[in-house]
Amino acid sequence: MKSTLKNMVLVLFGITAIAALLVGLVNDITKNTIAQTEQRNKDLAKLEVLPEFEGEPQLEEKSRKIGDFNINVTIVKAQDQLVGYAVEAPSITSNGYGDRIYLMVGFVEQEGKAVINGVKVISQKETPGLGANMTNEGNNLERSVVGKDAAELKFAVKKKGGSFDALAGATISSSAYANAIETAYAGYLWAKGELPSAENATSGATKSTQESETNDESEAQKGDLSNE
Residue 3 covered by a domain:
no
Residue 209 covered by a domain:
yes
Cα→Cα distances 60→8, 85, 181, Å: 61, 10, 21
Instruction: Please choose, from the candidates 103, 215, 205, 208, the residue with its C-alpha nearest in 3D space to the C-alpha of residue 155.
Output: 205
119 within 8 A of 139, measured Cβ to Cβ: no
pLDDT digits over 49-58, tens only?
999 999 888 9
Residue 126 belongs to domain spanning: 49-227
Residue 18 covered by a domain:
no
Residue 32: predicted pLDDT: 67
pLDDT digits over 82-109, tens only?
999 999 999 998 789 989 999 999 999 9
Counted domains in the chain: 1
Residues of the chain with pLDDT under 50: 198, 201, 204-225
Residue 32 covered by a domain:
no
Kindly report the pTM of this predicted structure.
Answer: 0.75
Cα→Cα distances 227→63, 155, 221, Å: 34, 18, 9
